[in-house]
Amino acid sequence: MTSKSPRLCQRRAWVLAALIFLLALSACGEKEPAAIMEGILVYQHGSTYYLYTEGDQIYTLPGQSPVSGGKLAVGQRVKVNYDGTVMEIAPPSLGEIHAIDILGKAEEEEFQAALDYFNTEVKPWHIDGVIE
């Protein structure tokens, strides 16, 4: 009986090691968002959406991002779950987007303020061309 006991312990150790390895692999495969950003979609150009956030920031979002709660449209308040990276281009673009949640329609005053900022600070330079 004593000769079986070390083998049994070895088997249990191997099974435990295999279980830990599989759990570690499954955890690596999950894509948890590193960052969350909320804002208002103020404009659509082609398949790109422009997101206005507090502090007068504009970010671009690709239209083919995964969306829950309907279809993206200008005037919506959204929450973006992404990997935390921001591409240093003008206007900046968010890195890998895991999901966009539609939170509902933005308040009219809030949307108008965001749209005014976009139309004066971003659109003339990046979409319409440089104003002379």
Look at residue 15 in the predicted model and tell me its pLDDT.
67
Look at residue 131 in the predicted model and tell me its pLDDT.
46
Place of tokens 């499954």: 26
| CB-CB contact of 117 with 100 (8 Å) | no
The predicted-structure confidence for 78-123, as pLDDT tens digits, reads as follows 999 999 999 988 889 998 999 999 999 999 999 999 999 999 988 8
Element (H, E) at 58: strand 57-62
pLDDT bucket at 64, cuts 50 / 70 / 90? confident
What mean pLDDT is predicted for residues 63-68?
86
CA distance 2 to 38: 64
Look at residue 26 in the predicted model and tell me its pLDDT.
53
Look at residue 132 in the predicted model and tell me its pLDDT.
42
The predicted-structure confidence for 16-43, as pLDDT tens digits, reads as follows 666 676 556 555 555 555 899 999 999 9
What mean pLDDT is predicted for residues 46-53?
94
Which positions ≥6 away from 121 have C-beta within 8 Å? 56, 58
CA distance 78 to 57: 15
Look at residue 57 in the predicted model and tell me its pLDDT.
94
| CB-CB contact of 51 with 42 (8 Å) | yes
Element (H, E) at 108: helix 108-121
Look at residue 129 in the predicted model and tell me its pLDDT.
65
SS3 of residue 2 by DSSP: coil
